[in-house]
């Protein structure tokens, strides 16, 4: 590759090879986007965390390139969102073409007043490198490269992990093991856990090319384009003038032949024109499946990301959902480790994230069925939709080139406290219990965006309501403390005051004077009321932490 050289992270001889090691609270298997996100979150909370990875570098090849708004917001909380946004390419607009003509255009973030765009495109190696650098800056995160897990034994009280290195094998004991070791998860195999799902009979070629071009920064998807008849093609811009082109090849394509430059170049020339100047950075031929484990919690082993669930790439629902897994898991694990919550709280990780995985698999399967119809009649309906889409707006809503990743709404979670007040707006896009926090521009002591003040721990977000100082102090002193953020309030001891200068926060939260929201540590709405009541807030926190 011209634009990127994979870093080589240094292996160091683990001390456990020479003397017995200490029992660890958490070991993470896999230093990919999900394992690193979990490790950083744990590290920020001061939990000692050991990460083992069987390699010594970041992703080879660009792989996951589309990072959604919600993943970026999570990275903001993890202290490396800005690096990813600065290096990446932001985009909001997608276009769909059929036989060379534009049939559908969508804008994933049609309103202003959000810190982050709908998506940032960035090669996975860059993304991982920023996360590694953030993890390395945290004293309680220990990254071990070229340390390969070869044995896992999960008991009632601890997990024993056997790790192989160039210097020999050693054993680690830990309270909890996070398996973030990818779709071919070693931990899953070692525990003998099956997963089920659907394998799709189609092959795709990824070609990353280095090219200076004035194509707009948008997602372009072609059905049956003149330059690649009867198949689909997808174009994305990445950092450093690298472009991702994804050609559908069909099930009968020979993966080894199609990887050869002499096969790739004519496809690219047909698409980009004979005079286009480009160089191939990286190419890969892949197939995919949609499947998930029945449960993501197996005793003291917690599966996250591709180790737990995989989807087709159309919709960018792989890495983005894995980062949400880590976001959902770590605050719960922290409370359990600190004995502030029973370990049944971790069952809610399984409950919430298996449902999220089902939603992602449903969307991804539907997109795949549209892109790769499985029967002649399915193909006929697909072509009929595309033919109608040019003139009839209704058909554009049926065109499915991938329903792009949106955060899971945990609407039926047992951790939610249902609305007691009937007059709150409900449904998709509202701040109902389980919804991820909407962002809004604000003026405050530490930053210009609402999300900068929410998360990490529980937060009570109060709109034009002055919470009594004795209640502020009481919530701060609880076993599981809750910070107070007042929108429209005056700064005082224990209270962060924000100015909702464009009134967008109040509008997005359907707030009236007195409305309060309880936000979870992962920035999801936990409960909301039209007026503050200390006992109700405490009961909702207890419910959200399985303490009742």
Q: Residues in the site for another protein, rule: CB under 8 A?
A: 377, 380-381, 383-385, 387-388, 392, 394-395, 398
Least Cβ distance, residue 382 to another protein (angstroms): 9
Name the minimum Å distance from CB 103 to another protein.
Answer: 14
Q: Which is nearer to another protein, 44 or 364 (by Cβ)?
A: 364
Question: Least distance to another protein from the beta carbon of 395, Å?
Answer: 6
Burial of 491 (0-12, 13-18, 19+ CB in 10 A): exposed
Residue 361 beta carbon to another protein: minimum distance, rounded to whole angstroms: 17
Q: Which is nearer to another protein, 388 or 476 (CB)?
A: 388
3-state secondary structure of 525: strand
Contacts of 308 (CB under 8 A, 6+ apart): 179, 292, 293, 296, 325, 353, 357
Q: Give the integer Cα–Cα distance in Å for 225 and 229.
A: 5
Residue whose CB is less far from another protein, 339 or 391: 391
> How far apart (Å, rounded) are the C-alpha atoms in residues 259 and 277?
20
Q: How many CB atoms lie within 10 A of CB 337?
A: 18
The least CB distance from residue 432 to another protein, in Å, is: 23
| Closer Cβ to another protein, 203 or 382, answer by number | 382
Shortest Å distance, C-beta 387 to another protein: 6
**C-alpha 275, offset from chain centre:** 39
**Sheet harboring 525-529: ordered strands across?**
495-498, 482-487, 458-463, 516-519, 525-529
- Decide whether 395 or 542 has the Cβ nearer to another protein: 395
**To the nearest whole angstrom, how small is the minimum distance from the Cβ of residue 42 to another protein?**
44
Q: What's the rounded Cα separation, in Å, for the pair 526 and 515?
A: 14
Beta bridge partners, 237, equal: 243
192 or 427: whose CB is closer to another protein?
427
The SS3 assignment for 382 reads: helix
Closest CA to 519 of 483, 469, 472, 470: 483
**Residue 449 DSSP one-character state:** B
CB burial of 243-262 (b: ≥16 within 10 Å; e: otherwise) equals bbbbbbbeeebeeeebeeee
Count Cβ atoms within 10 A of the Cβ of residue 156 and give its class: 0-12 exposed, 13-18 middle, 19 or more buried: exposed
Of 147 and 400, the one with the shorter C-beta distance to another protein is 400
Instruction: Spell out the residues 6+ positions from residue 38 whose beta carbon is closer than 8 angstroms to its own.
Output: 28, 49, 178, 180, 304, 326, 329, 330
Closer to another protein at the Cβ: 175 or 383? 383
Closer CB to another protein, residue 295 or residue 392?
392
Q: Which is nearer to another protein, 194 or 394 (CB)?
A: 394
CB of 406 to another protein, least distance (A): 22
- Closest distance to another protein from the beta carbon of 394 (Å): 4
Q: How far is the CB of 378 from another protein (least distance, A)?
A: 10
User: Min. distance of Cβ 133 from another protein in angstroms?
Assistant: 48
Which of 373, 494 has the CB closer to another protein?
373
Dihedral pair phi/psi, residue 141, rounded to 5°: -100, 125
Those residues with Cβ within 8 angstroms of residue 377's Cβ, 6 or more apart along the chain or in another chain: none
Residue 221, strand partner residues: 96, 234
Instruction: Select 252 or 375, whichever has its Cβ closest to another protein.
Output: 375
Residue 56's CB: how many other CB atoms inside 10 A? 16
Nearer to another protein, 390 or 492 (CB): 390
The nearest distance, CB 386 to another protein, in angstroms, is 10
CB of 379 to another protein, least distance (A): 10
* Alpha carbons 539 and 263: distance in angstroms, whole number: 63
Beta bridge partners of 462: 486, 516
Q: In 453-520, which ranges are continuous DSSP H helix?
A: 469-477, 504-508
The residue among 277 and 392 lying less far from another protein, judged by its C-beta, is: 392
CA distance 151 to 142: 20
Q: How far is CA 383 from CA 143, 227, 439, in A?
A: 50, 18, 39
Rounded Cα distance, 321 and 302, in Å: 15
CB of 235 to another protein, least distance (A): 27
């Amino acid at each position: 590759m011209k634009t990127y050289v994979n870093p080589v992270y240094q292996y160091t001889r683990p001390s456990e090879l020479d003397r017995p090691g200490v029992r660890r609270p958490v070991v993470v298997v896999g230093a990919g986007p999900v394992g690193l996100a979990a490790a950083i979150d744990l590290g920020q909370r001061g939990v000692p965390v050991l990460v083992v990875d069987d390699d010594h570098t970041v992703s080879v090849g660009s792989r996951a390139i589309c990072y959604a708004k919600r993943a970026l917001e999570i990275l903001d909380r993890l202290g490396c969102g800005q690096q990813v946004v600065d290096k990446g390419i932001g985009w909001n607009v997608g276009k769909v073409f059929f036989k060379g003509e534009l049939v559908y255009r969508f804008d994933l973030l049609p309103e202003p007043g959000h810190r982050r765009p709908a998506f940032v495109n960035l090669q996975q190696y860059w993304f991982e490198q920023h996360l590694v650098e953030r993890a390395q800056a945290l004293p309680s995160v220990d990254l071990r490269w070229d340390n390969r897990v070869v044995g896992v034994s999960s008991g009632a009280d601890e997990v024993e992990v056997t790790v192989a290195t160039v210097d020999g094998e050693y054993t680690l004991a830990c309270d909890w093991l996070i398996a973030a070791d990818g779709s071919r998860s070693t931990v899953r195999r070692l525990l003998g856990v099956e997963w089920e799902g659907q394998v799709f009979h189609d092959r795709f070629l990824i070609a990353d090319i280095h090219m200076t071009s004035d194509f707009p920064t948008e997602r372009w998807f072609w059905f049956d384009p003149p330059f690649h008849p009867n198949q689909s093609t997808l174009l994305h811009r990445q950092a450093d003038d690298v472009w991702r082109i994804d050609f559908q090849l069909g099930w009968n394509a020979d993966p080894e032949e199609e990887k050869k430059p002499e096969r790739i170049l004519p496809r690219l020339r047909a698409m980009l024109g004979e005079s286009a100047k480009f160089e191939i950075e990286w190419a890969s031929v892949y197939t995919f499946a949609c499947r998930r484990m029945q449960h993501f919690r197996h005793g003291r082993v917690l599966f996250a990301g591709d180790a737990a669930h995989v989807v087709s790439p159309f919709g960018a629902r792989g890495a983005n959902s894995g980062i949400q897994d880590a976001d959902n898991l770590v605050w719960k694990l922290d409370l359990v480790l600190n004995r502030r919550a029973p370990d049944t709280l971790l069952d809610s990780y399984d409950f919430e994230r298996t449902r999220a995985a089902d939603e992602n698999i449903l969307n991804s399967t539907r997109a795949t069925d549209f892109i790769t119809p499985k029967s002649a009649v399915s193909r006929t309906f697909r072509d009929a939709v595309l033919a109608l889409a040019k003139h009839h707006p209704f058909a554009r809503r049926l065109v499915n080139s991938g329903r792009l990743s949106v955060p899971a709404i945990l609407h039926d979670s047992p951790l939610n406290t249902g609305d007691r007040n009937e007059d709150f707006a409900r449904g998709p896009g509202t701040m109902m219990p389980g919804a991820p926090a909407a962002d809004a521009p604000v003026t405050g002591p530490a930053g210009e965006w609402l999300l900068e003040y929410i998360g990490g721990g529980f937060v009570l977000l109060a709109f034009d309501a002055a919470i009594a100082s004795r209640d502020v102090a009481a919530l701060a002193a609880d076993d599981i403390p809750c910070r107070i953020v007042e929108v429209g309030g005056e700064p005082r001891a224990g209270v962060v005051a924000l100015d909702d200068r464009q009134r967008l926060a109040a509008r997005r939260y359907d707030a009236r004077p007195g409305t309060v929201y309880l936000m979870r540590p992962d920035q999801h709405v936990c409960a909301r009321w039209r007026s503050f009541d200390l006992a109700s807030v405490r009961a909702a926190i207890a419910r959200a932490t399985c303490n009742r």
